A and B are shown apart, each in its own frame.
Chain A
Amino acid sequence: MLNALIIGAGTMGGTHAEAYAKMENVKLAGIVDINLAKAQGLADRLNTKAFQTYEEAVELDEIDVVSICVPTPFHKQYVMKVADDKKHVICEKPLAISLSDAREMINYCNDKGVKLFVGHVVRFFPEYVKAKKLVDEGKVGKPAVVRTTRGGGFPIASNDWYSDFASSGGLVLDMIIHDFDYLRWCFGEVKRVYAKSTRTRVFEKFEYALVTLRFESGVIAHVEGTWAHQGFSTKFEIAGKEGIIEYDSSKVTPVVASRKETASSEGVAVPESPMKDNPYFAELEHFIHCIQTDAEPVVTAEDAYKAMEISLAALESIETGKVVVLEDTQEKVGVQ
């Protein structure tokens, strides 16, 4: 039995907490949030304790692993603290805002002898896992042109922190890093990055970015990220020499409830794609398994670093209008 603690009781904190609460070999030991009422609300719902500080929480209980689900700029301070206390760390993505911070965090956890996992959960979404398997089995032949899409409306969170670019890095660092990690997992290392975003053009709560990646293998990938649409969806398409894989979450709706609304005459449709375990559960269960068995995870902290490298190269390209060749981006300063 492992005791897990959550720091941050927002969207992701809730997701991690629900997953631990369901796991038989994990005890959800508590929830920490500077906003104690938020921690309390989640703790009450899942039958655990709430704390305002991490220090109070570790004092009280024997903790083995800590999920860090606070806004990105606070990842580092907690990763260091938790590593100091010799507890394993599961940190939400992106690992950090700058590559130097990310490197420092990875090294620190290594030095302290604790494991560091990063929540690149797309590697646990069954449709993405299945697509990689099809590619690996040669079902589409040699991959050639790949397209991905991710996004919907502008994210809503505590203190509206996503709209502060210095905190979130915008959608290129915060969201399509998922696709960068996935694409790297499937197609290997990226050679060049070229990107455009509305961020430097439209000064509203709104972002739309289009990124082109060229891989060492020759694969060309196009990544669309949006906080300018209505309704979240993800898409991918892999065209190879001998086949094509297509997926569009907005068209995969095995359960659609359509109800008459009381207030207006318009109905509302709520599509769902239910699974016994959600991908976050699968991801965390895998990380727990790796802690218990000392196995190598499907996604390592080094992978998280590499995904950040691609995001930061895209941000540099957006800023400068130039192509960014990845060898040149070693240890960049990150979001300014």
Chain B
Amino acid sequence: MKVGIISFAHGHAYSYANALTELDGVEILGIADENEERGRKAAAEFNTEYYADYEDLLNQPIEAVVITSENSKHYEHVVAAAKKGKHILCEKPLAHTAEAAQAIIDICKEHNVILQTAFPVRFSTPVVEAKRIIDSGDLGNIVAIKATNRGTNPGGWFVDREKSGGGAVIDHTVHVVDIIRWYTGAEVKEVYAEIGNLISDYDIDDCGQLTMEFDNNMFATLDCSWSRNDAYPTWGDVMLEIVGTRGTLSVDAFGQKTNLYNRDGAHWDFWGDDMDRGLVEDFISSVREGKNPSITGEDGLKALSVAIAAYESSKKQVPVQVN
């Protein structure tokens, strides 16, 4: 199967490209990037063709495309790919606004192409194991969840609101919201958020603490801050504390690590399974078998809506309904 990649603006492009090269029968036919230097470098690294214009790449005989451009460009790239009948794996958040996300979903339906939102955490082996435990009913009813998805401020376009749609809150809310929806089947009804720009000197939100009320009488909180600094031994985390009426469950998606101490300081060397590979593998198999994607565009939109409601809540200082 021939696959293209549009833009290496998002760092995940590298790990998705790595995963693609590891899959049997998959070839990266080309990489399009408006940033020529970045695009040529990536093309050389993955031994493939560079395209200055993504339309040229889309005109090639590729079946699918991975879109890892800036959030605000997802819409343009998805529309172009869908019109050419290419199946799409789109980086999260699906878009920088709910309207753009909805339009992305609609255009893919119209052109009958697969649209999968890139939520790799669903493919973390510990996260999957936790779902098995929840599904077994051992914990009783899930009544509350406390989560963190913290990170390091990525800088670059991530701190340019025009391109990203927002900072830490839009970047780090969607993964955990998706996991909670996947675990419980519940939808977020209402969000309250305390958001701040307290860490970096960029003018963008880098601290966020969300509280969510779900339609099944469950609640959850999420710390989505870019609060990890360079001295911290790792980039960030995805952790969930799940409280059921008969037991509790702690999940640490990046807990499988070895600690390294050397001249560069302390570092946590992760050795667990590669979730990005799981995501890409799943997408490719959906394309091959022509089945519905395991994570849909609607999943991407639901998660994005929570982040957008969080911004509104923080501005108004009241809990906000999510639609």
Contact = CB atoms under 8 A, between A and B. Distances in A.
- A and B from one complex: yes
Contacts of B33: none
Interface in B169-208: 190, 192, 194, 196, 198-199, 206-207
B211 interface: yes
Contact of A323 (B196, B232, B318): B318
A162 interface: no
B243 A198 contact: yes
Nearest to A229: B248
Nearest to A230: B248
- Which of A212, A220, A244, A322 is most buried by chain B, counting CB atoms within 10 A of its CB? A220
Contacts, number: 95
Contacts of B319: 194, 321-323
Interface string B230-250: 011000000001010100100
A208 B140 CA distance: 15
A208 B144 contact: yes
B312 to A, nearest CB: 14
Interface string A94-134: 00000000000000000000000000000000000000000
B243 A228 contact: yes
For this complex, into which size category does the number of interface residues on chain B fall?
Answer: 20 to 34
B164 interface: no
Nearest to B227: A239
Interface residues of A, number: 34
A224 interface: yes
Given A208-B144, A322-B319, A144 B207 contact: yes
A226 interface: yes
B84 interface: no
B91 interface: no
B124 interface: no
Contacts of B190: 321
A331 B213 CA distance: 29
B217 interface: yes
Contacts of B231: 243-244
Interface of B: 141, 143-144, 146, 148, 190, 192, 194, 196, 198-199, 206-207, 209, 211, 213, 217, 219, 221, 223, 225, 227-229, 231-232, 241, 243, 245, 248, 317-319
Given A201-B217, A202-B141, 8 more contacts: A145-B207, A194-B211, A220-B198, A220-B207, A239-B228, A244-B228, A244-B232, A321-B319
